Structure 1
């Protein structure tokens, strides 16, 4: 029987949970969508809500909770403490604001470097494509960014994966490994050639590093969850405004490559 070192075990468990969450999201969402189709439900809005439940809440929040309760035997109080779920203080809300503007500045700089200097084109995000094609759904995406995507993805990646890695690795290593996994797992939502997908994954490292650093600094999961949700909501809001003013191909469309 092979005995793993503490670092190898942390890496295997952390990455296993992160990848497992992505796989589980696919395995749960596909049959749910097929089931709706079989009963004649064709509303895109309904399909989206179902995808948020089966593709976000159950795999990204449910899987970690099962792991903590069943595998590690933690109480609900202990889980909350381990994740660092608490109401943000005023200083932590300041970190939320600073984090958002840091991502914005770095994102714009990165996109300019990639598209204008290097001449590369990022892949399109499937959610972004849908939002552009059916702009009436954008308000739903904005709300979901804040109450579904931000909380669920941060619970899995920062709260679970990064925390598990942090038990055996230094903060820089844990943050980097988590950022790479977080960006890479989005390959399932990207549409385009291999080069374009690789470019998008590289760009997504920008917000991912900020989420990880902020979580390490505050030890409060709500802080990166808020930044994550506000960032995605900002992108969708920018897209909605650009469409309303007839600028569908403007800067907001480029920002879609940074949807976390």
Structure 2
């Protein structure tokens, strides 16, 4: 992506800025979830119902979307977004395959090392597998756009201005992995290992963004990746 570094941006200050942005996004996401669940409780709906849980997830993702968009606007950052070209669709196809193969390989390794954490999503899906289909739809409509705007468009974009593309991809990917820690329970080591797996997947998304200069590319790859995993889990349930 042809965007020059800003020599006046202090790398350490920029690093603290994006870490703070990640924390802020997490806080706003939680606030959004609370704002959604309080009326549900007041109206007497079952908070464990699949529709409610999908709605709760959506509310949290809206928080990420709002924070990412607000940061990009405030910093007047250019985040290129366009309908993928024919060549970019080929890149998308390759990206989905690479991400899935990386996930399968890394997951196999974690299983052999006995580093697989308990999954909040898995526990919910065990009660009602249709929750997975709800998340698949939500991944296309909201999860992928929100997370890619925040972590690739805003965070990776800001870091690129200060430290260049490779460190930007690495740091943004680690932050991407860290924000998913809340999806898992159990011992610390398996949770951290899974967070690292997600960071690797995030690095694939980040590399696609840098190579194509089009945020739509990692959004589509992210959405397709999630859908394949979620639908596969549903079929296997």
What TM-score, normalized by structure 1, do the two folds share? 0.82
**Residues 117, 190 of structure 2: 8 Å contact kept:** yes
Task: Verify: 1:41 aligned to 2:37, yes or no.
Answer: no
Q: 1:132 to 1:145 in 2, by over 3 A?
A: farther
Secondary structure at the aligned position of 2:214 is classed as: coil
Task: Verify: 1:96 aligned to 2:100, yes or no.
Answer: no
Secondary structure at the aligned position of 2:139 is classed as: helix
Task: Verify: 1:27 aligned to 2:21, yes or no.
Answer: no
**In structure 2, C-alpha distance between the alignment counterparts of 1:241 and 1:18, rounded to whole Å:** 34
**Residues 155, 172 of structure 2: 8 Å contact kept:** yes
Gaps of 5+ in 1: 244-260
**Residues 125, 131 of structure 2: 8 Å contact kept:** yes
The farther-off stretch of 24-33 and 219-228 is 24-33
CA RMSD of aligned residues (A): 1.8
Deviation at 1:139, TM superposition (A): 2.0
**Residues 160, 168 of structure 2: 8 Å contact kept:** yes
Mapping 1:205-244, distance limit 5 Å: 205-243=199-237
Mapping 1:188-199, distance limit 5 Å: 188-199=182-193
Task: Verify: 1:149 aligned to 2:143, yes or no.
Answer: yes
Gaps of 5+ in 2: 1-7
What TM-score, normalized by structure 2, do the two folds share? 0.89
The farther-off stretch of 151-160 and 129-138 is 129-138
**Residues 52, 148 of structure 1: 8 Å contact kept:** no
Deviation at 1:121, TM superposition (A): 2.4
Aligned length: 229
**Residues 28, 54 of structure 1: 8 Å contact kept:** yes
Equivalence for 1:251: none
Equivalence for 1:257: none
Secondary structure at the aligned position of 2:180 is classed as: helix
